[in-house]
Amino acid sequence: EIQLVESGGDLVQPGGSLRLSCAASGFTFSSYAMSWVRQAPGKGLQWVSSISGSAGSAYSADSVKGRFTISRDNSKNTLYLQMTSLRAEDTAVYYCAKEMGLSAGSGTQGFEVWGQGTMVTVSS
Amino acid sequence: IHMAQSPASLPASVGDRVTITCRASQSINKYLHWYQQKPGKAPKLLIYAASSLHAGVPSRFSGGGSGTDFTLTISSLQPEDFATYYCQQSYITPFTFGGGTKVEIK
């Protein structure tokens, strides 16, 4: 069974940093692109960032570019999101999601499996 | 690419046939996917590539369209289908989602 378990969410002050992790199991992690998608309280879904299976390519939303960095450790079957210069508008549940193929970016086939999410609250 | 989803709210009854529409601001070929989300839960993939049913999804769900106009149809609404549905394009980054359609009990 494919499982994605996020962790690392917390209450952090504006300007602070946080690193989210997503532990994957039940599939060959290095063979699939992975993504982060977030959802602010009571709002819709927003794509944050994606990374290819080999970590050779990565893409991010303009709203987080320069502040968030997606990475992965295929030896540990773990996806990361390093978040810096956090703002109140980054407050959301952050989901990691498995894609259907190795490549990330344009032309992919959707987010096949999602984790349960981890809450990030940015507030003073 | 902006994804316009309608309606935002859809009151319906068990057994109804319901259709949700998603319109892209430019052609996205068939790079359009549909998700179902229930309160407090993660989204689940229903349909990918506009019309392909994801594994384990009941056949009462179907998707259609290409280019800019897409539909998600539930042929006979079941109690477990009351939820919020989102479309998403993966034609080009940044990937974007529609605003969601909440299917509610009439």
Residues A48-99: tens digit of each pLDDT: 999 999 999 999 999 999 999 999 999 999 999 999 999 999 999 999 999 9
Give chain B positions within 8 Å (CB) of A114: 42-44
B87 chain-A contacts, CB cut-off 8 A: none
- Count of H helices and E strands in chain A? 0, 11
Average pLDDT score over residue span A17-24: 98
The helix or strand, by DSSP H or E, that contains position A45, with its residue range, turns out to be strand A45-51
10-residue averages of pLDDT along chain B (106 residues): 98 97 97 98 98 98 98 98 98 97 96
Cβ contact B43–A114 (<8 Å): yes
DSSP string across B22-90 = EEESS--TT-EEEEEE-TTS--EEEEETTTEEPTT--TTEEEEEETTEEEEEESS--GGG-SEEEEEE-
pLDDT of residue A105: 87
Q: Which residues of B touch A45 (CB under 8 A)?
A: 35, 37, 43, 86, 88, 97, 100
| Distance set, CA A84 to CA A90, B51, B89, B93 (Å) | 10, 39, 27, 22
- The H or E element containing residue B104 is strand B101-105
Q: Give the per-residue pLDDT at B82.
A: 96
Nearest to B48 among A47, A62, A109 (CB): A109
* Structure confidence at residue A107 (pLDDT): 86
> Scanning every residue of chain A, which has its alpha carbon at the shortest distance from the alpha carbon of B95?
A47
The B-side interface with A (CB below 8 A) comprises 31, 33, 35, 37, 41-45, 48-49, 54, 86, 88, 90-100
